[in-house]
Amino acid sequence: MYDDLKGKVAVVTGAATGLGKAIAERLAAEGAKVIVNYHSNKQGVDEFISVIEENGGTAAAFQADVTKEEEIKSLVQFASDTFGSLDIMVNNAGIENEVPSAELSLEEWNKVINVNLTGMFLGSREAIKYMLEHNIKGSVINMASVHDRIPWPHFVHYAASKGGVKMLTETLALEYAPKRIRVNNISPGAIDTPINEEKFNDPQAKEEVLKLIPMGYIGKPEEIAACAAWLASAESSYVTGITLYADGGMTKYPGFQAGKG
Ligand code: NAD
The CATH number of whichever domain residue 134 belongs to comes to 3.40.50.720
Q: Taking the model in full, what pTM does it have?
A: 0.99
Decide the pairing of beta strands 33-38 and 9-12: parallel
Q: Kindly name the residue from 130, 158, 176, 245 that is annotated as catalytic.
A: 158
- Decide if 259 is inside a domain: no
From 72, 54, 76, select the one nearest 9 (Cα to Cα). Answer: 76
| CA 19 to centroid of ligand 1, rounded, Å | 7
Range of the domain at 43: 3-251
Is the pLDDT at 261 greater than 90? The verdict is no
Q: pLDDT at position 207, please?
A: 97
- Decide if 14 is inside a domain: yes
For 140-157, how does the pLDDT look when each residue is reduced to its tens digit (9 = 90+)?
999 999 999 999 999 999
Domain count, the chain: 1
Average pLDDT along the chain: 98
- Decide if 137 is inside a domain: yes
- Decide if 103 is inside a domain: yes
- Decide if 260 is inside a domain: no
130 catalytic, yes or no?
Answer: no
For 63-111, how does the pLDDT look when each residue is reduced to its tens digit (9 = 90+)?
999 999 999 999 999 999 999 999 999 999 999 999 999 999 999 999 9
Predicted ipTM > 0.90: yes
For 184-238, how does the pLDDT look when each residue is reduced to its tens digit (9 = 90+)?
999 999 999 999 999 999 999 999 999 999 999 999 999 999 999 999 999 999 9
- Decide if 256 is inside a domain: no
For 172-186, how does the pLDDT look when each residue is reduced to its tens digit (9 = 90+)?
999 999 999 999 999
- Decide if 223 is inside a domain: yes
Residues 244, 149: contact at Cβ < 8 Å?
no
For 172, residues 6+ apart whose C-beta sits below 8 A from its C-beta are 124, 128, 140, 183
Residue from 193, 199, 200 whose mutation best tests the ligand 1 pocket (most atoms within 8 A of CB)? 193
Residues 50, 24: contact at Cβ < 8 Å?
no
- Decide if 257 is inside a domain: no
